[in-house]
Structure 1
């Protein structure tokens, strides 16, 4: 998803608050940022701050 958004010239917001996120490894945030995410959030409340 992040790489697709970057390729399309869109803002990429990574989300690591899903129930499966702990099983993706402690470096999940870093991997999303390395893939081109503009920001990584861990709860939906943070999304409103990012979109402002």
Structure 2
């Protein structure tokens, strides 16, 4: 099986997974930034938009 390696498969799958993970974290970071700007505080106790 010339040209087939486990790493090439992992590399392809890891790249796709890393892109999805990065997009998720970017969306969350943007949502937090907007909540802080709209709520006026970075403290979850005083900013209801940051409460889970």
Question: TM-score, normalization: structure 1?
Answer: 0.22
Which is richer in strand? 1
Question: TM-score, normalization: structure 2?
Answer: 0.22
Which is richer in helix? 2
